[in-house]
Amino acid sequence: MRESSKPTLESEPSMLEINNLNSGYGKVSVLRNVTFHVDQDEMVAIIGPNGAGKSTLLKTISGLVRAQSGEVKFENDNIFCLSPDQVVRRGLAYVPEGGRVFPNMTVLENLMMGAYSNQGILKTGILDEIYTLFPILKNRSAQFARTLSGGERQMLAIGRGLVSRPKLIMLDEPSLGVAPKLVDEIYEKIHALKRIGLTVLLVEQNTGYALELADRGYVIENGQIAMEGTASYLSSSDHIKKFYLGL
């Protein structure tokens, strides 16, 4: 069930390389020998059912969950043991599931939290760049985050991830909690991230959307990579059609 992905020359390592990663919570193993890569300028989707380990994977890469063994390399450096803020400073941002933001802080305060590991970055015009991408955040900048709709909260969570000027952004189920008619808008924004030069690792249960946008994808089932290939290859696979696209 595999199709070889874009060939990578030995001399050109992938931007993000995960090799034989094992991770979980205490004695509970969740991820088993997970191996995958994301090349610069790609959008890679990780799809899989609820409980498969998708969030655990992103949290492990971000340093929020301690890996048990394996390799996590970003721009050819081992980032396996780094703390979450060190990972952010390397240029990897993580946007948690469900557009989690601080409800009792304003939109602007939430965005500024994205600079916690590097306050100086706020002087570089990054907020204006984010407001260009998400004009609604500028209009709502003085409002408490709790007053935002699900879609606006998701945009705020993504905006906060962008404040650190990441090279690669990891999005955990950006369509979760967003009204169906706004999901298209969120996905347009995600597409825009790619256009402005970001590499994107997208986790989704919404397989149709993910495969429409992504260049390549991996299917994670029970903590293991079950399938991989280009988005068009995955979309046409019988397994994906039957179990993920309901066709």
Judged by CB under 6 A, how many residues of this single chain contact ligand ADP? 11
Provide the minimum distance between the beta carbon of 218 and ligand ADP in the complex, in angstroms, as a whole number.
12
- Which of 4, 11, 50, 104 is the binder for ligand ADP (CB under 6 A)? 50
How far, in whole angstroms, is CA 128 from its chain's centroid? 22
Binding partner of residue 103 among Mg ion, ligand ADP, none, CB under 5 to 8 Å per kind?
none
- Which of 25, 113, 179, 212 is the binder for ligand ADP (CB under 6 A)? 25
d(CA 158, CA 136): 13
Interface mask toward Mg ion for 91-110; x: CB under 5 A: --------------------
Provide the minimum distance between the beta carbon of 203 and Mg ion in the complex, in angstroms, as a whole number.
7
d(CA 46, CA 97): 14
Written in H, E and C, the secondary structure of 64-87 is: CCCEEEEEEEECCEECCCCCHHHH
d(CA 108, CA 163): 11
Positions 188 through 227 that interact with ligand ADP (CB under 6 A) = none
Q: Are strands 216-221 and 224-230 parallel, antiparallel or unpaired?
A: antiparallel
Piece of the chain touching ligand ADP by CB under 6 A; list 46-54, 133-141, 150-158, 162-170: 46-54
Residue whose Cβ sits closest to Mg ion: 55
* Tokens linked to 246: 């309901």
One-character DSSP codes across 76-142: TEE-TT--HHHHHHHTEEEE-GGG---TTSBHHHHHHHTTTT-GGGGGGTHHHHHHHH-HHHHHTTT
Binding partner of residue 216 among Mg ion, ligand ADP, none, CB under 5 to 8 Å per kind?
none
**Identity of the amino acid at 209:** Y
One-character DSSP codes across 9-38: -TTS--SEEEEEEEEEETTEEEEEEEEEEE
Binding partner of residue 52 among ligand ADP, Mg ion, none, CB under 5 to 8 Å per kind?
ligand ADP
In terms of phi and psi (left: phi > 0; alpha: psi -120 to 50; beta: otherwise), the region of 37 is beta
Binding partner of residue 56 among ligand ADP, Mg ion, none, CB under 5 to 8 Å per kind?
ligand ADP
Burial grade of 13 (CB within 10 A; 0-12, 13-18, 19 or more): middle
Binding partner of residue 25 among ligand ADP, Mg ion, none, CB under 5 to 8 Å per kind?
ligand ADP
- Which of 5, 14, 23, 55 is the binder for Mg ion (CB under 5 A)? 55
Binding partner of residue 28 among ligand ADP, Mg ion, none, CB under 5 to 8 Å per kind?
ligand ADP
Judged by CB under 5 A, how many residues of this single chain contact Mg ion? 2
* Tokens linked to 68: 């048990």
- Which of 21, 30, 92, 200 is the binder for ligand ADP (CB under 6 A)? 30
Q: Does 48 bind ligand ADP (CB under 6 A)?
A: yes
Binding site for Mg ion (CB under 5 A): 54-55
Binding site for ligand ADP (CB under 6 A): 25, 28, 30, 48, 50-56
